């Protein structure tokens, strides 16, 4: 087990949605001195550049790699080349730089998008190579998945201590609500909020509503990453999820109910659903580093809505 209080920690993407929660929990929950945590902005470190990767990992004992180019289905369809290249280069170069600088541990954050499009539910880690990912986010999913290959290859050849985590989509206060790049929960909250504000008689939602998703409250996700950083020492992939599955239709109806929006929900079936179902088997994370999601979905969703309503009026 690694005592993080004694380590210098580089958190890439530490100024982002998940990163802010993780940095805060490192100090508040685990007692890591703030002075021991480095969370450079994109302006301070562009991890697509090897020189920035080498410079930022030089003084680190532990690297937690959260930085990613992310977005919903629309953004992935619009810029598949960028999503592939940027994520591939960041992951490959950071891990290599960390190895060259003798970093003690590298925590790579993958994505549920790395799983095959048609995967037995719940997704088990051993199924990760049994098919091609869902087409709309395959470039992103495969780019992140290469860190798993790299992690296992580096452990075999260099005895480099790296791990690879597979989280589902996270949500919570401070999420990215920009409609161009946001994931489904923040995108729907914003859409319903604007329909309510504009007295619109309907909200239009992509797809059929049949697809299902699993969501992880961001604080739970950050705690899972920290526990893995402390306790997990293998290169076998590990799922991080909540074990709670909901259809997009039920999700939209729940958000409308919580936000007191009584207009009609119209489905734009010319737009894709994405992967048919997503739900992870999370038993390995519980067994290996005692992680279990504790936030009730309804409570987490309400906190996210409250945060958005407060900050959208600020």
Catalytic residues: 140
Question: What span, in angstroms and rounded, lies between the C-alpha atoms of 11 and 17?
Answer: 12
Beta-carbon contacts of residue 90 (< 8 Å; ≥ 6 apart): 12, 47, 48, 65, 67, 68
Given CA atoms 58, 235, 31, 216 in this order, what sign does their dihedral have?
positive
Inter-residue contact 175 to 185 (CB < 8 Å)? yes
Helix H or strand E segment including 33 = none
- Phi, psi for 259 (deg, rounded to 5): -100, 5
List of E strands, 207-263? 212-217, 238-240, 245-247
- Phi, psi for 28 (deg, rounded to 5): -75, -40
Query: Which of 190, 298, 286, 188 lies closest to 239, judged by CA?
Result: 286
Question: What span, in angstroms and rounded, lies between the C-alpha atoms of 171 and 293?
Answer: 13
| Tokens 């929990």 found at | 25
Angle between helices 248-258 and 297-312 (to 10 degrees): 60
How are the residues of the chain apportioned to helix, strand and coil, as percentages rounded to the nearest 5?
Answer: 45, 15, 40
């Amino acid at each position: 087990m690694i005592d993080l209080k004694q380590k210098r920690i580089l958190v890439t993407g530490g100024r982002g949605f998940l990163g802010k929660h993780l940095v805060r929990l490192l100090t508040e929950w685990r007692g890591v001195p703030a002075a021991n945590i480095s969370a450079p902005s994109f302006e301070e470190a562009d991890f697509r550049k090897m020189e920035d990767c080498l410079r930022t990992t030089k003084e680190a004992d532990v690297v937690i790699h959260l930085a990613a180019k992310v977005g919903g289905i629309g953004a992935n369809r619009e810029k598949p080349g960028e999503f592939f290249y940027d994520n591939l280069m960041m992951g490959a170069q950071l891990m290599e730089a960390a190895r060259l600088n003798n970093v003690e541990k590298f925590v790579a954050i993958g994505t549920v998008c790395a799983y095959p499009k048609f995967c037995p539910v719940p997704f088990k880690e051993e199924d990760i190579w049994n098919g091609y990912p869902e087409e709309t986010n395959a470039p992103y999913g495969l780019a992140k998945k290469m860190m798993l290959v790299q992690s296992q290859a580096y452990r075999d050849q260099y005895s480099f201590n790296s791990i690879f985590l597979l989280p589902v989509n996270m949500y919570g206060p401070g999420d990215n609500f920009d409609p161009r790049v946001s994931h489904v929960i923040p995108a729907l909250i914003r859409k319903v909020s604007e329909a309510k504000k504009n007295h619109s008689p309907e909200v239009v939602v992509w797809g059929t509503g049949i697809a299902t998703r699993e969501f992880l409250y961001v604080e739970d996700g950050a705690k899972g990453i920290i526990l893995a950083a402390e306790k997990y020492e293998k290169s076998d992939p590990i799922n991080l999820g909540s074990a709670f599955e909901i259809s997009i239709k039920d999700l939209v109806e729940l958000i409308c109910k919580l936000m007191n929006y009584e207009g009609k929900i119209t489905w734009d079936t010319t737009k894709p659903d994405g992967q048919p179902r997503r739900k992870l088997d999370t038993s390995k994370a519980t067994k290996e580093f005692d992680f279990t999601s504790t936030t009730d979905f309804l409570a987490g969703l309400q906190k996210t809505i409250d945060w958005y309503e407060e900050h959208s009026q600020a």
